[in-house]
Chain A
Amino acid sequence: MNIFVFVKHVPDTEARIKIDSSGKNIATADITFMDSPYDEFAVEQALLLAEANEGSVVTAVTIGSEDAKQLLRDNLAKGVNEVVHINSDKFGQFDALTTAKIIAAFLKDKEYDLVLFGNKAYGADNSLVPSMVAGLLDVAQINLVTKMEISGKSVKAERQVEGMTEIMEASMPCVISAQKGLNEPRMKSLKGIMAAKKKEIPSISVGDVIPESELTMGIEVLSLQNPAAKEGGKKFEGEPVDAATELFKYMREEIKIV
């Protein structure tokens, strides 16, 4: 099987996010970057599938700045076979639509059975790219996958939708976006880290993939702001019975919910 997995380099989820002086971007100077959490489930699934299907090739691809190469090195250390870095000048340069267009153009002349994504990139918090890529390539898609199996050219997968589990069947080639619960992502192995160190990370430019004139953005950032810190309100410390009385009063008189 030919498996592609798309990974994004994003700010550490623990980091405080500040806005830069333009008011339209985040200040990235003091932030360390990491693999977007859901992408790790996608990578793990690619590796598991490759292990179960001899002769498979897993290629990890990122669109990102020079620094994002580290992400590909980490994925090599986990066991992916090939990596491609599509160079973009700065973090957050592309919106979901243009990102999807770059990815679709990249895949167009490749042979692929499965294209794996995280279901949502931390930061952009969009959940758009996987479905948009499926639309542009006109291939099957199953999103938010928590369980999947392959037989022949078809994929059977479970996804959690509001209040229920939906069991989907699709024909390959298929876009899959991974949700937490799909698997337990592995760590990099020491041997893998050593091997990855020596590997060349091939880098191409966005212009090699798609004419930049086709990359008009669907959305434009007007401004970013940190939400006003919410003030803590009343606090009550005392006997449970009195606490309950106060709470009940609050729910009845303020919230008007009982």
Chain B
Amino acid sequence: MTDAVTQCYHDKVTLRLVQFSVIWAILAMAAGVYLSAELVWPTIDFGQFWLSFGRLRPLHTNGIVFGFGVSALMATAFYSVQRTSHVPLFAPKLAWFSCYAWQLIVLLGGLSLLAGWNSAKEYAELEWPFDIAITIVWVCFAIVFFGTIATRKIKPIYISNWFYGALIIVIAMLHIVNNLAIPVSFTKSYSLYAGAQDAVVQWWYGHNAVGFLLTGGFLGMIYYFLPKHAERPIWSYRLSVVAFWAFVYTYIWAGPHHLHYNSIPEWVQSLGMAMSVILLAPSWATMVNGIMTVSSAWEKLRTDPALKFIVLSLAFYGLATFEGPMMSIRAVNVVSHFTDWTIGHVHSGALGWNAMVTYGTFYFMIPRLVDRELYSVRLANIHFWLALAGTMLYIMSMWAAGVSQGLLWLSVDQIGELSFDFKDIMASMTPYYLLRLVAGLIFLAGTILMAYNLFMTVKGREPARVVPPAVDPAYGVGA
């Protein structure tokens, strides 16, 4: 017989991860806002190397993906895997280690990027010592997660855990293969791959870091928290099975659409494009499954800000997963590639989808963790509108900027001479960059409101003790 203490869910580590996640969100978004201001007023780096655009920008992206994103994914994975397995975390000490070691990597990694230790591979900028540390912590995360599933008391492995599982496995594979390099010193290494080959490997990684971390992982969030919150079972179990495997199979092929018209074999580009277009199907299947799940609970949207965030995030997920395949078509990509349209697309995913679903999840999870009502529903509602307004303004300003850049760059007159000078096109971007700065500020303000709201909710409380409920014999392991 195990005693009641070990039977209790380990929620303190979840709460701590949420706290870190919110802190990284604010810091990394603030860095983003500053970067957008630098594009309007280029001298505000004051000649300081650590404020220089080229160094601060990787800090922004890594802070969001690995600080905010991964901390939120670890938190929600730990929370939901216990509740869907009806057992406490496997190896809770290892879970705590993963939590703090990860934060240390984000902190020191961020500083190393400002110091200029940069491997120059997008979303994999951290140098080799960090790559090794990430691998170790990731394995610990995997042991805790799969260990909990392996010791579960309920026979089926719930859908959300498939997605978190795919996140852990595929990211490990991508991370290791893409970062293979020969170290020269503690701060510098040379990639095992060169030139065109390196490009194909990098975008196999880069696109699927988006695919399995920012999409797969967050779909895990959706599959647990949306049905839980709507108090409805997932609309179609069959659809989620098909969508899951189609997603895992198809996503990995799509990377080469980042290299259209670049110096890589054309068949790779075409294959990447075709598979990117096909990817629309599993993406929308999941979106439809989610929307249909809430379809009989719309009235909850009136009163519940957390559910509003989650449902809106699904809408942006649908938008971004339509826009992505469209941009992967060569004839569209010829305009969008290298422009701010790409930046807009990334943010319709990162703000509209990833941040919104995370916010909704936090508003749902935190009051339950500490067993107390959300401090202010009103503030959460204000946050919702700030987040929506910020995201829309961001995307639209970048659409306008990106499409005009793309078309103006390509524009030639009747005798084949360029119609516009590059620097004139660049100078015409200032109004859009200003709008984007405002958008970023609005979104950041909302995030700070949430931080305050959650802080006041948790203030002075410890996570409540939750004991796994009895398992329905029909689903039990011994059944």
Chain A partners chain B:
no
Q: B residues near A, CB below 8 A?
A: none
